[in-house]
Chains A and B, each alone.
Chain A
Amino acid sequence: MRRFDHEDSCIKCSICVTACPVYRVDQKFPGPKALGPDWYRRLQAGQGDTMEHVGDCTFCQLCEEACPVAVPIAHLIAEHKRHAPQSPRLMLRDYLLTHPQWLAKAPALVKLPKVLGVPLGISAKTRWPVPSPVDRTQRLHRVRPVKNVPSVGIFVDCFTRGFDAPTLAEAREVLERLGFATVPLPAASHCCGAAAYASGLLDEAEHSARATWRALGRGAAQLEAIVTLNATCDDTLRSEWPRYFGLELSTPVFSFVEFVLKHASPSLFASLRECPAGEVIYTHATCRSKTARGEGSLLRLVERSSERPPRVLEINCCGAAGSYAFKSEHTGVARALGSQANQVIDGPGIILTDSGTCAIHLEELTGHRTLHPARWMHAQLELMGAPQ
């Protein structure tokens, strides 16, 4: 049994239940309070029979964010998942899905589900990512810090590495435009452990996290900052690593959006706003982006960079949730959650979101082009032309 800070603080207010997106769309889902603190208390008393449907939690952590007394609800639920029995078939699947770094190494493996999907419990409905051309991802990793120019690390998460090379490339160009040299980290494919944690594979998560932390190693210490492209990895590095695995990074971690907001000059924003307004922008800060930093930063970035006021996609969690939507038993919930976006969208436009898997999911369910904010920024800067 693992121990957690504030594991016994629950005051039973049930606010977490009101914040949980799955509870709203799935009548069978017992909700965060029952699955988290209530269950954990029984576990401690030796009556920890696991509950049905615990696996249906997306690990979005919105419950935790809402809790007034900082109960690590989602993490207690992950512990619950760890105790829950799973068939060998699904265990194999979960194991594969929680090692996205393998997929990132050989992205073409995503074609696999077509063959193995159904027997393994992989959703046939959820859209899979398209692998990025291999040469491009590889080449990017040869860069070293540049002398006399502030260098930032850019955390290349497994998804971006394997499937979203354009976001990585364009994010780097944006940062370089702000006057930073960028160093992609870590050199080889690694996973921060978020995917495994979400599935209740806590030991795997710790193992992955440790390996990644080591891989970031000394190199990271010489950098001004580490910039993340995916909100989940951002939160994992910044708060879960130290809290749950005792892994500290001496370099501060920022999300791409916050970093740009902090370092772009007012004059740059002013020039951006003078560009002709493009399409309507819908912003969707992912659930983990909300819980870790809040959606206000993405909104502000778009406001600063464009004359046309952005619209906030008022959904809490789109249901993609890492590997969640790829599991066949979750397809229904994942689609129900993501489809809520259509109640807000009332015309053409593009969606900005800070996670590659959420982007694919939202794009499929809304029919709207969905991009990482880095790519939109990049396009805006191109529109603006070369710096004077």
Chain B
Amino acid sequence: MRVVVIGAGATGLGVAWDLALRGVDVVVVEAHEVGVGTSGRFHGLLHSGGRYLVTDPNAAQECYRENVLLRVIAPNAVVATGGYFVKKYGDDDNFERRWTHQAEALGVPIREVPPAELRQALPMLTPDIERAYWVPDGVLEGFRMLTMLVAAIQARGSRLLERTRAVGIRTESHRVTGVEVEGPDGHRTLDCDAVVNAAGPWAGLVAHDWGIDVKVQPSYGLMLIFANRRMDQVVNRLKLPSDGDIFVPHQEVVILGTTDVAQPCPDAPEPDRLEAIRLMSLGAELVPDLGSWRVLRGFNGVRPLYEPSGLTDDSRTVSRDFAVLNHGDRDGLAGAFSVLGGKWTTFRLMGEVLGDKLAESLDMRLPSRSADTVIEAHRTTQATSRRHPVDRGALLCECEGVYESDLDNETASQTQMRFGTWFSMGPCQGTFCAHRVLGRRSAAQFAQEMAWLRHEREHGLNVVGWGSNARLIALEQATKAQTLAEDLS
């Protein structure tokens, strides 16, 4: 049996992984490259559920369950940092009461932390904190998880087709028999028994191509990346979920998020400087000295919220829960499914639920195995660290420690390579390493890939061009325009 999954974000790959484990032959088609949508532009929080205890109990419970599970099945891509919910003086007492009550009711473990303990763990936080609770928040290494998932599904014989856009479906008597795609090899049809729309914010458009109406509410959020990992645990503000109230330490950086702005289209908008300034001042409510932290870049991610009742202006009220639609039952198109909404944290669960529905509708008895199958660590990262230093070749990206030998996966796309190695994501933002890495990847594609990467990096730098980061931008511009004369060609 063959299933085509549309979208190589966390959800699509989660679905592909679950199906591949059931022995299904999966082809994932991705219009751009792995993770360029929301999955590569997220906060990195492995939710404990704490954030949704009051507003979205269902999502909270699912998050907690998956949080516990992912630590076991993907230990290489999650870090159990722990996190805190902190309540400042003046924050709503009533919310706190409901929150602790819900934690107990839903079985999400929390523990009140004495102020001294909090100060010791996170001395940069405001002294204005009345109470704090520890929660099992963690960090989800999204880039690594995506890389691992791609390798894992490929190892089971399934395929990933990047730069391949699904443009329509072929049906026979109201049943899907193929997916039409446009890719490097032109237009063709992939035969299949079922198709899964896992196109995240674009899912509404994909469904529309099938003549089906699905209400996806795109909502973007701005996040700011600080250059260094100045805190080791997640910090949430204990109040009604709002803007700029979460800090997540992620590898060598810290990410502050986020905003929540409903928008009509699925593409991430240009980040905006005024919003960045606003986020900085919101963040300073928790970290008073935030102004002295170097911000490396700002980026927008678009949440694919599912809104069964139609579009809304206030996207914070839309459930973070996910939905699986069987378009056979719902719209009379057998073999077509959509998986909508949800969180990175619940990507596996979404795959499982979808897999169950799909198996059931095709009348197959194929149980999900994703809850008890370990997703292996990425091959090259392990191989590299075991190599003798000299065999690693030249050091290409000094910020993130990427060597020539880390580029040995020739089939990977640029994005996969960046997710796998983190090159160009450190404090120089690719100023010094872009040509080194891309020049070694492909001489023929070099100029094009450089232009793309520079553009993408500058996009995120522009909104946070102040302090020493402004000087980095000036250096990046001079290097690009003068030393390398890239824009003269």
A residues 10-39 near B (Cβ < 8 Å) are: 10-13, 33-34, 37-38
Across the interface, name the chain A residue whose C-beta is closest to B293: A8
B71 in the interface (beta carbon within 8 A): no
Quick check: which of A40-48, A88-96, A171-179 contacts chain B, the rest being far away?
A: A40-48
Is the Cβ of A8 less than 8 Å from the Cβ of B226? yes
In the docked arrangement, what's the CA distance between A12 and B232, Å? 24
In the docked arrangement, what's the CA distance between A356 and B21, Å? 74
Is the Cβ of A11 less than 8 Å from the Cβ of B232? no
What is the minimal beta-carbon distance from A346 to any residue of chain B, in angstroms?
38
Is the Cβ of A11 less than 8 Å from the Cβ of B398? no
Is the Cβ of A45 less than 8 Å from the Cβ of B428? no
Is the Cβ of B399 less than 8 Å from the Cβ of A9? no
In the docked arrangement, what's the CA distance between A6 and B398, Å? 19
Is the Cβ of B228 less than 8 Å from the Cβ of A44? yes
In the docked arrangement, what's the CA distance between A33 and B251, Å? 20
Is the Cβ of B230 less than 8 Å from the Cβ of A8? yes
If A41-B427, A45-B251, A45-B252 touch, does A11 touch B228 (CB 8 Å cutoff)?
A: no
In the docked arrangement, what's the CA distance between A37 and B399, Å? 10
In the docked arrangement, what's the CA distance between A13 and B479, Å? 10
In the docked arrangement, what's the CA distance between A25 and B278, Å? 49
- Interface majority SS (helix, strand, loop, mixed), chain A: loop
| Residue in B232, B294, B398 whose CB lies within 8 Å of A8 | B294
What is the minimal beta-carbon distance from B324 to any residue of chain A, in angstroms?
37
Is the Cβ of A34 less than 8 Å from the Cβ of B398? yes
What is the minimal beta-carbon distance from B477 to any residue of chain A, in angstroms?
12
A7 in the interface (beta carbon within 8 A): yes
In the docked arrangement, what's the CA distance between A5 and B229, Å? 15
B residues 442-487 near A (Cβ < 8 Å) are: 467-468, 471-472, 475
Across the interface, name the chain A residue whose C-beta is closest to B227: A8
If A34-B398, A38-B398, A45-B252 touch, does A8 touch B228 (CB 8 Å cutoff)?
A: yes
Is the Cβ of A11 less than 8 Å from the Cβ of B472? yes
- Hey, what's the 0/1 contact readout for B260-303 against A, CB within 8 Å counting as 1? 00000000000000000000000000000000111000000000
In the docked arrangement, what's the CA distance between A5 and B294, Å? 11
Is the Cβ of B475 less than 8 Å from the Cβ of A13? yes
Is the Cβ of B230 less than 8 Å from the Cβ of A44? yes
B431 in the interface (beta carbon within 8 A): yes
What is the minimal beta-carbon distance from B254 to any residue of chain A, in angstroms?
9
Chain A residues whose C-beta falls within 8 Å of the C-beta of B471 in the assembled complex: 11, 68-69
| Residue in A34, A38, A40, A69 whose CB lies within 8 Å of B468 | A69
- Hey, what's the 0/1 contact readout for B427-439 against A, CB within 8 Å counting as 1? 1100110000000
- Hey, what's the 0/1 contact readout for A346-388 against B, CB within 8 Å counting as 1? 0000000000000000000000000000000000000000000
Is the Cβ of B468 less than 8 Å from the Cβ of A6? yes
Chain A residues whose C-beta falls within 8 Å of the C-beta of B292 in the assembled complex: 5
Chain A residues whose C-beta falls within 8 Å of the C-beta of B432 in the assembled complex: 12
In the docked arrangement, what's the CA distance between A46 and B228, Å? 11
In the docked arrangement, what's the CA distance between A41 and B475, Å? 21
In the docked arrangement, what's the CA distance between A7 and B475, Å? 19
- Hey, what's the 0/1 contact readout for B139-157 against A, CB within 8 Å counting as 1? 0000000000000000000
Chain B residues whose C-beta falls within 8 Å of the C-beta of A10 in the assembled complex: 427
What is the minimal beta-carbon distance from B224 to any residue of chain A, in angstroms?
13
Chain A residues whose C-beta falls within 8 Å of the C-beta of B475 in the assembled complex: 11, 13
Is the Cβ of B399 less than 8 Å from the Cβ of A42? no
If A33-B398, A38-B399, A69-B471 touch, does A11 touch B427 (CB 8 Å cutoff)?
A: yes
Is the Cβ of B431 less than 8 Å from the Cβ of A12? yes
Chain A residues whose C-beta falls within 8 Å of the C-beta of B229 in the assembled complex: 41, 44-46
What is the minimal beta-carbon distance from A96 to any residue of chain B, in angstroms?
34
Interface residues of A (CB under 8 A from B): 5-13, 33-34, 37-38, 40-42, 44-46, 68-69
